[in-house]
Each structure stands twice: as structure tokens, then as C-alpha cells.
Structure 1
């Protein structure tokens, strides 16, 4: 394997090593070589540059970490990670149970809130475990175990009672499952990922894949297209405050809320990923009514966030216009997959998407509390409104 420079000096408590490799936890991805990191994630769209934009976005309540296993100063295994105060009802849909938990927390501020150390990222689609392509499959569970050992030691040092892995995509390799089960991690469902293969040549051919009722409904909704102007921009400029207003309004309408994105996130993604990111903006007259942040490589387009004026946007069917615009972008740029992210599954399935399930794993440092959390975890599992296809 080609050597990559990796100069990292950390306290002994953050290092787990054996005779052939060393596992380290670093607080900034800038401490790692860009090419060495990306080499562990071939085909990944959310690369080093995307994670750097997340890190530098100033997202409140999160501390970023990066776990790597190195051999001869070269990264052979890697995962992003974060630390935060985690409220267990975060994944609960709005309802009586969630309102009860929130009411109790107004009296007891720490109720069902734990210090969490989590492998993965709140801002990525899934939590891929990165390995250098030259690492044989048979060695990967051992390297992952070393990475996990180092991260668990770091979690203890940081006072985190709950350790987790967020959104590992199915199928989970059997060797990885064995590592997690041997350490007492419990599994619960995460939010699935919605995606669509672009196996058609035109938008009309796409419509032909839909049911008769959906096809008729989509054609009706697209009649408003002539009143909407779409612009693809690679910088926000003076429109960023309006985009953030739309984002905050959309976030407030969402039932699931974890991280709150910042202007620096939106701006940083576009500036940090030139040629691999853009924002589709939807205007009626001179008013911006919706914005869609997207990232991509040569073969895949990922919808990171769609935000819209709730009242005016619906009157022009902007969600459906943006859906078709994204498919047309894939067609015109030869992309084979459109990935529309998490949540709102029922509608996405109706529009032709499939779902891939993701898993979350967790372990509390107290065995009794781990038993309790494992028992009640179905109540807190991230829900969806569509059938999951593996």
C-alpha cells in the first residue's frame, strides 16, 4: 500500500495498540490526511471535505471525533464520531408519550438524558465503517475491534455512560456483528435510507414506472411548473438568510429533530465541495420559496435537505417539482442513483423509492441500566411509515 503521512500525537488514554497497529481518536479531521481518509471510503459521497464542513459548522451541542486504526502511519480503518448530551425521546414521534417525557424534564432536567459517545455522524446518511481497499475481508473485524476498543476508552475518559453506533446499513457483516455482540451491544432499528435507481432514460419513462393514480397526480402537480423558476447555484450569497428562514420553518414542522444545522453548514458544504455540491432554488416571481441542498459524485445524487415555505410552497407543489427536477438532473448528468434520505417514506415509496434498513447499536456502562434500555428500546426506535426492503 502507498504510504500516507499521518503525524498524530495523543495522550496514552486515547490510544489502543497491539504489535502491528495503533488506534487513535482525534478531535479534528484536519489532523488526518485527506487522501488517506477518503481511501478508506471508496464510492462515498460524504467525503473528508463534507465531514470537515460539518465539523466547522458550529453545530450546537456536538463535539466531533474521528477514530482511526493506523499501520506504519497509514490509515487502515476509520469512522467519524461525536459526543453529545442525548435525550432518549429524540426519535419519538410527537404524541402523548413524548409530551409526558418533555413534561417530566421540565421538573427533572436530566430525565432520560445521557452523555453519549457515538460512532457515525448526525449529518451523514449512514455510518459506514471505512477500510483501506487493500485490507482483506478476514482482517476487518479485528481492526474494527481495535477501533472500538479505543473509542470505548475515549468515551470512558470523557464521562460518557452510553456508547453507540448510528445507522449502520444492512446487511451488517457477520464479523462486525460478532464484535458488537461480544461486547454486549444491543441492536435497535434506525431510520431507513430512501433511494431510487435511475433505470429509465426520460422523465416520461419514469412516470411510466409509477401507478396510474400516482402518474396522474404527478402530471397534475407539475402544471404549476411554468410559474416557478429553478436556479442551480454553487453559492448562497445574500440569499443565505432566506434559506435559513425556510430551513428553520421546515425543521419546526418535522416530527424528528436531533441536530440543528447552521448557516455555516449550508455555506460550508457549497464552499468545501466545489464541483460536488449545489443548491437548487425555487422562485415564484422574485420570492425564494424553497431551497434544496444536494451533494453528488459521478454516479449518485444525495438530497441533504429540502426546505420550503409551508403555505406558499405547497400551493405550487414545490416538493414534487423538486423531486422531478432532481431526477432530471440525474438523467442529464448520467447519474445512476437518486438518494432522497430519511423520513417521509410513504410518499417516497409512492414515487418509486426503495428503502434500505439501518441499525443502531448501543451499550450503557451500567449493566442494569443496559438491561432496562434494551427492554424499552422498541419504544425509542426510530420509526418509519413505509415498508423496509433490505
Structure 2
């Protein structure tokens, strides 16, 4: 299996992505060994909600939006935090190889989630990412800010010590929400456990994943049941599944991986309204922090979505960049000038920091 720079998750997860791709994804592998895929992509996927609402008020907005769904070649995956970049190539050579492999196979090429001074990676990996972005810019790629990846250093000795780092108002609110733990049964099973051979359990877990997917604002990569079956039955991934039950009934679970001395939070399945009634998001956050602390891990990496609530829970953030190449020169010119519209997480982060500075 290829060795990758930027890998915050086990390489086996990328293999399961290739073998069980999301709906309507066509997985492929570039000549240098990096994972990629073809998919139809809505260019408005990451546009700020307010800007999207304004767009949808335009005459013929639905017809216009259909015109903004393009066949796209992505370099990377939707199951890795960062673009996996094969070791042993220079950044220049990798950029050249990606462009040559694409060869105008689609109107749009996106190298997704290139790290930007990530505190979760080595100095070598961050330097390579910067060199790669520079090589892309020299070849007329558009560089667009990606999403905000939430993480938390495990630098506290207890739950109370972590709570003490928050404001008094947040401490009171979180303690109130955590009272629900008294009614929950919490178990942790490793991936590869024999109990994951139970077809009924696998189906129930997949349905809980679909409930969360349906609630999401972004509907791009719906993973299939085969992916979860393969991952849950793979002991080599060193995954941990946190189950949350009430009176024996599963109301949620959280699938995480131990990798590079960190706990990487990947997938959550919830049953509504029970998950809200029992404040499962808050409970699972504390459970993950406790697991990471008890196992001597350096960081809890909480993923991309819902940055506002993660910030409320004390998360820090690091960003990525997407390197975008548009085949049509005129459209490339237009998108270069509109690229800020697609950077909703960065706009949110900057506004929060501005507010904090003013206060």
C-alpha cells in the first residue's frame, strides 16, 4: 500500500473508499498512486447560506443551478482529512503528474484539502504542501480556502480541568447537558470485533448514519452500507466505536480511529429526537476527550462540520486549501474573481475573530 504524506487516518480507510465509493462516485487512482475520483459537483456546495439564499431568489435560479453542476475530477478522497500525497515525489513532479493524468477528462479538476500550516502534521509535510500550492499557482490553478478542521490538544489532566478552560456560562450549560449521561449505557468496541458480523446491527448503524446525513447542510458524499461493513469488520484500522444506548436501545454511535498518536473522529450515527433529548453531541465530545486522555493521545481531531458548536466546545481550527483548475479560460477568469464566495468557513472564522478583537 502506498505511503502518503498528510495521512491522519489509516491507509486502509482509503482502500475501503476505493472499493466502496459514495453514491455516483467513480473512484480512480493516479499514476503516482494517489487516490482520486470523478463525480458531478455542484459549484454552490460550499457557498455561504446567506449568499445561496440570495442566489435562489434570482429568476430561473433552479435552472441556473443545474448549469453549475459540473463533471469534476477530484484528487483526494472524502474520507481523509487532507489530500493524501504519495511520498517520494517532488511537489513540482506531483503537480505535473496530476495535470497530465487529468488531461482535460472533465471541465473541472480539484485537488481537495491541501494542508495550510497544520499543527497536526510535521514540518516536512507542511513545507511540501506549500511547495505544491506554489507549483499549482504557477500552472494557473485557482487556490480556494477550504473548510475549518476542528481539533483539541489533550493538554488537561481531567474533565474538570478541561471545563475550567471555558467561560463560566459555557461550563454551566455543558454540565447541565451532561446530566443525561446518568441514563446512558456507553460501550466501546474495536473495529474487527466479531459482533460486527451481525447484519441487523450493521443495518441499524447505517440507518443512523443516514439520519445524520439527511440533517446535514451539504449532501455530496453519501457513503454506502458496504463501506461501513468493510470498515467495521477491519481490525487493522484500529478503529473504536462508541455506542450510546438507553435501556438497551441504541440511540447513537461514534466511529473514531487512533492514528499518529491522535484520536480522529470520522463518523457519527444518531437517532432523532433521542440524540437531542440526551444531548448526545455534548456527551460524545466529552467521552472522546476522556478516551484520548486515558490512552495518552496528543490530540482529538473532531472533523469539518458544525464549526460553531465545536468552537463553543473549545475547539481550535486549522484550514485547508483547494487547488482548482478550470478547463475553460473564460470561466477560469470568472471563478478566480468569485472564489471568495466559496470560502464560507474562512469568512465565519474571520468574523468571529474580528468580533473577539473588538470586544
Q: Same fold (TM over 0.5)?
A: yes
Judged with a 3 Å threshold, the aligned counterparts in structure 2 of structure 1 residues 324 and 101 are, in CA distance, closer, same or farther, namely: farther
Equivalent position of 1:205 in the other structure: 161
2:111, 2:76 → 1: CA distance? Answer: 6
Equivalent position of 2:102 in the other structure: 155
Task: Indicate whether 1:85 and 2:35 are aligned.
Answer: no
1:83, 1:104 → 2: CA distance? Answer: 26
Judged with a 3 Å threshold, the aligned counterparts in structure 2 of structure 1 residues 102 and 52 are, in CA distance, closer, same or farther, namely: farther
Task: Indicate whether 1:49 and 2:12 are aligned.
Answer: yes
Maintained 8 Å contact 1:93/1:256: no
Task: Indicate whether 1:118 and 2:65 are aligned.
Answer: no
Maintained 8 Å contact 1:162/1:365: yes
Number of paired residues? 333
Maintained 8 Å contact 2:8/2:80: no
Maintained 8 Å contact 1:300/1:336: yes
Task: Indicate whether 1:144 and 2:107 are aligned.
Answer: no
1:252, 1:97 → 2: CA distance? Answer: 23
Q: Higher helix share goes to which structure? A: 2
Deviations 1:71-98 (A, max 9, x none): xxxxxxx532222111111223555246
1:196 to 123, 148, 152: 152
Maintained 8 Å contact 1:87/1:112: yes
User: Secondary structure at 2:45's aligned position in 1?
Assistant: helix
1:93, 1:253 → 2: CA distance? Answer: 17
Identify the range of structure 1 (144-153 vs 279-288) with the bigger mean alpha-carbon deviation.
144-153
Task: Indicate whether 1:65 and 2:28 are aligned.
Answer: yes
Maintained 8 Å contact 1:50/1:273: no
Structure whose alpha-carbon radius of gyration is higher: 1
* Larger relative contact order (CA 8 Å, sep ≥ 6): 2
Equivalent position of 1:340 in the other structure: 302
Deviations 1:294-314 (A, max 9, x none): 111261011102221231111
Task: Indicate whether 1:361 and 2:317 are aligned.
Answer: no
1:228 to 184, 198, 201: 184
Deviations 1:339-382 (A, max 9, x none): 00002112212212100011111111111110112122222334
Equivalent position of 1:183 in the other structure: 139
Maintained 8 Å contact 2:30/2:101: no
Equivalent position of 2:116 in the other structure: 170
1:372 to 327, 330, 334: 334
> Any stretches of 5+ residues in structure 1 without a counterpart?
1-33, 70-77, 133-139
> Any stretches of 5+ residues in structure 2 without a counterpart?
118-125, 354-359
Judged with a 3 Å threshold, the aligned counterparts in structure 2 of structure 1 residues 123 and 99 are, in CA distance, closer, same or farther, namely: farther
Judged with a 3 Å threshold, the aligned counterparts in structure 2 of structure 1 residues 102 and 49 are, in CA distance, closer, same or farther, namely: farther
TM-score by length of 1: 0.78
Judged with a 3 Å threshold, the aligned counterparts in structure 2 of structure 1 residues 325 and 108 are, in CA distance, closer, same or farther, namely: same
Deviations 1:34-83 (A, max 9, x none): 2xx13x43x834232111111122422212233354xxxxxxxx532222
User: Secondary structure at 2:162's aligned position in 1?
Assistant: helix
Maintained 8 Å contact 2:150/2:307: yes
Equivalent position of 2:278 in the other structure: 316
2:260, 2:139 → 1: CA distance? Answer: 39
Q: CA RMSD in A?
A: 2.5
2:53 to 82, 85, 96: 96
Maintained 8 Å contact 2:8/2:260: no
How big is the shift at 1:293? 1.2
Equivalent position of 1:136 in the other structure: none
Equivalent position of 2:174 in the other structure: 218
Deviations 1:325-352 (A, max 9, x none): 0011111111110000002112212212
Maintained 8 Å contact 1:85/1:116: yes
Judged with a 3 Å threshold, the aligned counterparts in structure 2 of structure 1 residues 241 and 153 are, in CA distance, closer, same or farther, namely: same
User: Secondary structure at 2:147's aligned position in 1?
Assistant: coil
Counterpart mapping for 1:252-271 below 5 A: 252-271=214-233
